[in-house]
Chains A and B, each alone.
Chain A
Amino acid sequence: DAKTTQPTSMDCAEGRAANLPCNHSTISGNEYVYWYRQIHSQGPQYIIHGLKNNETNEMASLIITEDRKSSTLILPHATLRDTAVYYCIVRGGGSNYKLTFGKGTLLTVNP
């Protein structure tokens, strides 16, 4: 699976949009981009995933660049409860469903 690079930490004001970047320059054609987050001392929570097209659900939007070498997770109106470590993971298709977690981005939402 391709490696991902994320900033170590980011800050965001409550109510504003949080834009979390992820670089995955070695991604291959059949690899998906997944985002999970982990609130302190809890298990990770699935947020969203995509292959080529931009995706949106009730939690967030995922913007994938045309060359697929980077993506951005957008939380449109961040709240204090969105403070967590956000993991961007690239996973291959097929029968291997393993998720390899990197260090992620600690997003701190400030009042």
Chain B
Amino acid sequence: GAVVSQHPSRVICKSGTSVKIECRSLDFQATTMFWYRQFPKKSLMLMATSNEGSKATYEQGVEKDKFLINHASLTLSTLTVTSAHPEDSSFYICSARLAGGSTEAFFGQGTRLTVV
């Protein structure tokens, strides 16, 4: 299957700082990328959908000014958690859909964010 790579896999940051997470499709072009977050022992919750070259669409209750998403190319999307607080500590996961009509999405390995 297609490979999606997230970086970093783990990050610890101080409260009040910003953290950027990268999501790359390594061997395919991704028209659409999705960002999820997952709290311990909970399921994945969709945060936003990003399409290359346009603004992201955020799910209800997700602060777009806090979680900045940029999808500048067909192989890269970034999620920036701004002014991070301890409650933003979570497992963040991206997924990418192949351009050209494929229906399955492929997921990155996730990024564990800890805000201290």
Residues of A within 8 A of B (CB): 32, 34, 36, 38, 41-46, 49, 87, 91, 97-104
Selected A-B contacts with CB under 8 Å, 16 pairs: A34-B104, A42-B110, A43-B93, A43-B108, A44-B44, A46-B105, A49-B103, A49-B104, A91-B103, A97-B32, A97-B34, A99-B34, A99-B95, A101-B44, A101-B45, A103-B43
Residues of B within 8 A of A (CB): 1, 4, 6, 32, 34, 36, 43-46, 49, 91, 93, 95, 97, 103-110, 112
Using Cβ atoms and an 8 Å threshold, which residues of chain B touch A98?
34, 46, 49
Using Cβ atoms and an 8 Å threshold, which residues of chain B touch A43?
4, 6, 93, 95, 107-110
Give chain A nearest CB distance to B36 CB in angstroms. Answer: 8
Using Cβ atoms and an 8 Å threshold, which residues of chain B touch A32?
103
Question: Can you name 18 extra interface pairs (CB under 8 A) apart from A43-B6, A97-B103, A101-B44?
Answer: A32-B103, A41-B110, A42-B110, A43-B4, A43-B93, A43-B108, A43-B109, A43-B110, A44-B44, A44-B93, A46-B105, A46-B106, A97-B34, A98-B46, A99-B34, A99-B95, A100-B46, A104-B43
| Chain A residue nearest in CB terms to B31 | A97
| Chain A residue nearest in CB terms to B97 | A97
Using Cβ atoms and an 8 Å threshold, which residues of chain A touch B32?
97
CB-based closest 3 A-B pairs = A43-B107, A101-B44, A101-B43
In Å, the complex CA distance between A98 and B95 comes to 10
Give chain A nearest CB distance to B40 CB in angstroms. Answer: 10
Using Cβ atoms and an 8 Å threshold, which residues of chain B touch A102?
43
In Å, the complex CA distance between A4 and B72 comes to 35
In Å, the complex CA distance between A100 and B1 comes to 21
Using Cβ atoms and an 8 Å threshold, which residues of chain B touch A100?
46
Give chain B nearest CB distance to A2 CB in angstroms. Answer: 16
In Å, the complex CA distance between A65 and B108 comes to 32
Known: A97-B105, A98-B49. A46 touches B93 (CB 8 A): no
Give chain B nearest CB distance to A31 CB in angstroms. Answer: 12
